[in-house]
Amino acid sequence: MKNGDGYAFANSVEGQRDRLKALEVVLDPGTLHHLAERGVGPGWHCLEVGAGAGSVARWLAERVGPDGRVLATDLNLTAFGEVSALHPSLTAVEHDVMTDPLPEGSFDLVHTRLVLAWLADPTRALDRLVAALKPGGSLVVEELDFVSAAPDPSMDAHSAAVFARVLEAHTVVLADRNGFDPRCGRRLHSLLRSAGLTDVNAAGRVSMWRGGEPGGQLWRLTLSQLRQPMTATGLVDDAEVNAAIDLCLGGLSYMSPITMTSWGHRPNP
């Protein structure tokens, strides 16, 4: 996946920064809660892999203060903007977690969100992230699991059926054509245990994504980017994609995918 090859939502694509900002609105509260629970504070050294538009990296930089440092990485930093210029402790670099070197034994915290599900070999990436931790350091990994994506029963039945067909086409495009694992979230706990971490745990969170609200905005931007490949599957046509996007502006009431978070510590020698 070097430089975003095979990734359906490359950061250089028009509209992707808006989509990443919508993701931040929806996901950041839970993410920051988990990171705060790990005790991130002044002087910590942190690694943020798949930094996107930069909100988590900025939060980490504020928490670690001038005596800490944050290294934020992504395949492409187009969407990241100038966040690093605002925080002396924050550095952002273009980096492929599968192939590019990482400093070993250097970080008190490593966090990654919505990265592993795109990788053909997530265990290799996890091994590299664990090696980057100091002994006793914390790894926090977050991924979606689409098992919970379901309509509010009060939603219009025809609209719910159309949206379900479009979501199916969306998942086919991501999984079959881009290598995305829509069930990655449920795998995290076992993946972290297999990577040799201790005190491994996991938790999930869901919410209702409604038309005209941040969740609906996220679906609208996602479906808009995938319009052409979705219709190319033959599972949906332009009219159905248009109807689904219209629902994202008003009328949609859908349970979100589960955001699974798993965490653990690199063992002390």
> For residue range 53-83, what is the model confidence (pLDDT) as tens digits?
999 999 999 999 999 999 999 999 988 877 6
Query: With pLDDT > 70 as the criterion, what percentage of the chain qualifies?
Result: 94
pLDDT at 127 over 90: yes
Residue-level pLDDT at 17: 87
Instruction: Tell me what the mean pLDDT of segment 244-269 comes to.
Output: 97
Measured between alpha carbons, how far is 186 from 144 in angstroms, rounded to an integer? 8
Domain holding 77, by residue range, is 2-265
For residue 70, the cross-strand partners are: 46, 90
Q: What is the rounded distance in angstroms from the CA atom of residue 52 to the CA atom of residue 17?
A: 8
Residues 103-122: what's their mean pLDDT?
97
Q: Are 73 and 52 in contact (CB under 8 A)?
A: no
Q: Is the pLDDT of residue 124 over 80?
A: yes
Instruction: Tell me the pLDDT tens digit for each residue of 128-186.
Output: 999 999 999 999 999 999 999 999 999 999 999 999 999 999 999 999 878 999 999 99
pLDDT of residue 5: 43
With residue 140 as reference, give the H or E element that holds it. Answer: strand 133-145
pLDDT number for residue 16: 85
Number of folded domains in the chain? 1
| Spatial separation of the C-alpha atoms in residues 120 and 58, rounded to whole Å | 29
pLDDT bucket at 29, cuts 50 / 70 / 90: very high
Mean pLDDT of the chain: 93
Task: Using DSSP, state whether 59 is helix, strand or coil.
Answer: helix
Percent over 90 (pLDDT), the chain: 88
11 has a pLDDT exceeding 90: no
Q: Which CATH number characterizes residue 261's domain?
A: 3.40.50.150
Cα–Cα distance list, 7 to 76, 175, 193 (Å) = 11, 11, 27
Cα gap 9→16, rounded to integer Å: 7
pLDDT at 14: 67
pLDDT at 36: 98
- Does 1 have pLDDT greater than 60? no
What long-range pairs does 231-235 form, CB within 8 A, spacing at least 24?
231/169, 233/169, 233/172, 233/173, 235/165, 235/168, 235/169, 235/172
Q: Is the pLDDT of residue 7 over 80?
A: no
Mean of pLDDT values over 183-191: 97
pLDDT at 9 over 80: no
pTM, to two decimals: 0.94
Residues 255 and 152: beta-carbon distance below 8 Å: yes
